[in-house]
Every structure is written in structure tokens, then in C-alpha cells.
């Protein structure tokens, strides 16, 4: 007879009634406890595997992913380290190769130099040869400059007939500008400025005052030109502003003075014209003086001798030619502020004789030898010039006042001295 598996008593039945009753009574409680423990274990396992919503708590899956990412990063770092090591080795080999090649090249150069070392005599001969080549190039540059300058002066027709002309237009002395139509004077200005621009370009010379068109034109040889200081080559504070080089139509007596036999009427008309155009004409004369100073400097750099201002007391014989309008007042190289001087005073040509200076420049034996740009042996380092621009301007304005006798009055109006009665002669 088998014993009861619960209490161990030998019974006929496999389970005794008491044990079965006790087991049935406690089965539900044990089952609930086990289920509760199982639920807690499952929840804890899920928490450990999946994690929670908190960023500070991670589950097993996330840790496995993190370990996988770390392992992949470590593999990539190891690969990069291997590549970096290989690259460093390659760079080192390249540097060693370049260094060895450089050393070999230097050794070869040194050996070649030692084998081909020139003696002092050969070295002096080579230096002399290079200098001779430089002189030959300089001579060709000078010859090219001379050809260009003389051709352009000939093309512009700079010559002296009754007076100095350019392109068939007479450019008189500045005090005689009023005796000519303003259109003719302005045309001569434009041709002279165009010619000056070409000469400075051909000769590689910077002039103290450059002609430039006014804004908004800003095109070469278009519009009314203006003279401005060539800063920073010219250190001046008085002439930095632009001065328009243009003769007003109101300043010309030839275009406004009517034919009349009445001397008083002519004098009154002349007085009105001079007074009306006093300020504008003096401004244009100032600009012309700056142009004359630049042309004089250009001629000076090319070896034209005797450029200067004459003494106030020596007026010369050309004043008699200016006593009437029919004489034309001479050219920019004759009479008044212009004119060719005698050698006794040391002044051969006035700076205001711009066309005469250009003509003498073209015939100078040292034309093209001196320039501001390199290329020849005689390179100018500065704009040194003994002629004071203030004296040139003062000479031009003084000649105008002496010729026409125009002076500003005390109340801002213009007065006329007895000098204007020279216009009584018929034109």
C-alpha cells in the first residue's frame, strides 16, 4: 500500500482526505502569490530589456546598441589610426626623397659652378656685355620716343607763321586771348591738351598739372578740360582744386565788339565786355598758366634751355605790335607774357609760349633721354623744377591787367584804367 505523498501515511487512497482538503484550500492563495511574483519578474525583465521613459535609465537593448556603436566607432578609429600612420610614413618617405633630390641638385649645381667658375676678367667682360645691351635698349627707346614725338608734333601742325599755330589755329599770348574768338582759343586749348597727353605718354613723363575732363564726362579729350595738381607727385596745397581751361564767349572782344566809328561807344562797349567777363576770364587764364607750367616742365626735362620769366622792366619790342588789334598780338611765343627773349637776360623762351616750347622740345638733342619710368640710364626721381608756378600765374594775370587795365573795384565791381583805349583802332 503506497504512502500518501503529502503526509507520508499509508492509506489505501493515494491522497488522504485531510491533505487534499488542505491543498485545495491553499492552492488558490499559492497560485495568486506565484502569479504576482511572475508579473513582477516579467515587468522587471521588460524594464531591464526595454528601459523606461527616463533618459537616465537604459534597457538591455539600448545597451546592446550602444555597445555595438562603440565597437563600430572603435573599429573606425583603429582604421583611421592605421590610415594616419600610413600617411605619416608616406609623407616621411616623400620628404626624405625630396630632401635627397634637393641635396643632389645642390651638389650638382655646386659642382657645375665650381667647374664653370668665371675668372675676374670673364666676369668683368660679362658685366660689360650686359651693360652694353642695356645701353643699346636705352638707345632704341630714346630713338622710338624721338620718332613718336616729332611725328605727333608734325601731325598736329605746330608751326610759326604770323604767330604760333596748332592744327592751323593760332594760340596767341594769354593777354591777347580777348582779341580772338573764344571758339578759336578753346579749339587751340583742346588741341594743345591732346598733344600734351600724347607727349607725356610717349616720353613717360609726369607733369605737375594734368589736364582732365570734368565729371560726369571723364573721357579723354571730351568736354571742358580742367587742370588739376598731379598728386602725390606734386606737393602743393594752393593749386589742388581743378581749374577749368575754357574761355568764356563773353570774354572775346572779336565776337562781341560791333563795327562803329564812334570812339565813345566803342570804349563803353569794351568796358562792359571786360567788366562782365573779368572773373571768368581770370579763372581761364589761371588754368592756362598751370598748363604753361606743365609744358615748361616737360620741355625742361627734355633739355630745352633758357626757360624762365623775364624781368618786369624788360618788355621788349613786341609791345609795339600789340598796340592795335590788327597786329594779332603775336603768338604764345611773342609779346606780353609770352615771347622769345634775348640771351642777355638768360631767358630764351617764356613758359607761357607753350607751342614754342613744344616745337623746341621736338628739336632738342636730348629728347627722350630723361623720363620718370625706367628704361634709360637717366631716370627722374622727382619733379624738381626751378620755375615757381605762383610766379607763372602772377605773370599771366599781371600781363592781362597791364594789357587791358582791368582791376576789381572796392564794391565788388570791375573798374577799367586807361589801358583799354588801345582798342580804338579798327579791327
pLDDT, position 258: 55
pLDDT, position 354: 95
Name residue 212's beta-bridge partners. 226
CA distance 44 to 57: 13
pLDDT, position 343: 45
CA distance 373 to 353: 27
Answer yes or no: are the C-beta atoms of 166 and 355 closer than 8 Å. yes
> Which residue in the block uniquely carries the three cell numbers 594775370?
397
Please tell me the number of Cα atoms within 13 Å of 286 on its side-chain side: 17
pLDDT, position 45: 80
Tell me how far CA of residue 154 lies from CA of 148, 151, 172, 190, in angstroms: 10, 5, 19, 17
Q: Reduced to 3 states, what is the DSSP secondary structure of residue 65? A: helix
pLDDT, position 342: 45
Cell of 250: 563773353
Cell of 332: 604764345
pLDDT, position 338: 46
The contacts of residue 236 (CB under 8 Å, 6+ apart) are: 229, 389
pLDDT, position 321: 37
Domain limits of the chain? Answer: 1-42, 136-304+327-424
pLDDT, position 7: 63
Residues in the chain: 427
pLDDT, position 291: 95
pLDDT, position 13: 57
pLDDT, position 325: 34
Question: One digit per residue, pLDDT tens: the chain, 427 residues?
Answer: 566 666 666 655 566 777 777 777 787 778 888 888 888 888 888 777 776 666 666 667 777 888 899 999 999 999 999 999 999 999 999 999 999 999 999 999 988 888 877 788 888 898 999 999 999 999 999 999 999 999 999 999 999 998 999 999 999 999 999 888 889 999 999 999 999 999 999 999 999 998 886 555 455 556 788 898 887 777 667 778 888 999 888 877 765 565 555 565 556 666 667 767 788 888 999 999 999 999 999 999 999 999 988 765 444 433 433 333 333 333 443 344 544 444 445 678 999 999 999 999 999 999 999 998 887 878 888 777 888 899 999 999 999 888 887 655 433 444 443 333 333 333 3
Cell of 360: 623746341
Q: Reduced to 3 states, what is the DSSP secondary structure of residue 112? A: helix
pLDDT, position 51: 64
pLDDT, position 113: 81
Amino acid at each position: 500500500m503506497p504512502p500518501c505523498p503529502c503526509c507520508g501515511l499509508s492509506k489505501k487512497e493515494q491522497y488522504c482526505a485531510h491533505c487534499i482538503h488542505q491543498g485545495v484550500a491553499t492552492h488558490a492563495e499559492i497560485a495568486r502569490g506565484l502569479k504576482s511574483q511572475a508579473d513582477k519578474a516579467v515587468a522587471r525583465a521588460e524594464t531591464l530589456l526595454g528601459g523606461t521613459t527616463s533618459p537616465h535609465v537604459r534597457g538591455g537593448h539600448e545597451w546592446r546598441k550602444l555597445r555595438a556603436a562603440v565597437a563600430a566607432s572603435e573599429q573606425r578609429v583603429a582604421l583611421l589610426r592605421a590610415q594616419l600612420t600610413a600617411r605619416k610614413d608616406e609623407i616621411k618617405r616623400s620628404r626624405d626623397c625630396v630632401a635627397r633630390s634637393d641635396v643632389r641638385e645642390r651638389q650638382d649645381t655646386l659642382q657645375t659652378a665650381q667647374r664653370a667658375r668665371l675668372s675676374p676678367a670673364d666676369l668683368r667682360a660679362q658685366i660689360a656685355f650686359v651693360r652694353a645691351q642695356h645701353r643699346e635698349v636705352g638707345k632704341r627707346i630714346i630713338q622710338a620716343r624721338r620718332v613718336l614725338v616729332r611725328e605727333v608734333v608734325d601731325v598736329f601742325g605746330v608751326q610759326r607763321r604770323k604767330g604760333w599755330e596748332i592744327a592751323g589755329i593760332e594760340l596767341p599770348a594769354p593777354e591777347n586771348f580777348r582779341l580772338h574768338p573764344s571758339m578759336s582759343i578753346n579749339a587751340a586749348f583742346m588741341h594743345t591738351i591732346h598733344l600734351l597727353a600724347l607727349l607725356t605718354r610717349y616720353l613717360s613723363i609726369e607733369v605737375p598739372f594734368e589736364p582732365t575732363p570734368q565729371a560726369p564726362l571723364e573721357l579723354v579729350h571730351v568736354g571742358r578740360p580742367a587742370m588739376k595738381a598731379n598728386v602725390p607727385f606734386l606737393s602743393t596745397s594752393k593749386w589742388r582744386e581743378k581749374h577749368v581751361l575754357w574761355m568764356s564767349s563773353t570774354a572775346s572782344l572779336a565776337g562781341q565788339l560791333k563795327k562803329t566809328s564812334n570812339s565813345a561807344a566803342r570804349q563803353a562797349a569794351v568796358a562792359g565786355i571786360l567788366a562782365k567777363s573779368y572773373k571768368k576770364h581770370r579763372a581761364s587764364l589761371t588754368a592756362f598758366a598751370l598748363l604753361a607750367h606743365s609744358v615748361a616742365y616737360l620741355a625742361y626735362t627734355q633739355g630745352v634751355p633758357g626757360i624762365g620769366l623775364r624781368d618786369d622792366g624788360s618788355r621788349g619790342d613786341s609791345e609795339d605790335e600789340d598796340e592795335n588789334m590788327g597786329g594779332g598780338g603775336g603768338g604764345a611765343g611773342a609779346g606780353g607774357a609770352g615771347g622769345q627773349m634775348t640771351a642777355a637776360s638768360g631767358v630764351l623762351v617764356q613758359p607761357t609760349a607753350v607751342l614754342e616750347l613744344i616745337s623746341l622740345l621736338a628739336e632738342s638733342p636730348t629728347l627722350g633721354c630723361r623720363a620718370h619710368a625706367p628704361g634709360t640710364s637717366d631716370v627722374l626721381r622727382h619733379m624738381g623744377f626751378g620755375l615757381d608756378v605762383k610766379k607763372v600765374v602772377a605773370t599771366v594775370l599781371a600781363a592781362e591787367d597791364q594789357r587791358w587795365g582791368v582791376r576789381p573795384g572796392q564794391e565788388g565791381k570791375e573798374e577799367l584804367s586807361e589801358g583799354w583805349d588801345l582798342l580804338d583802332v579798327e579791327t
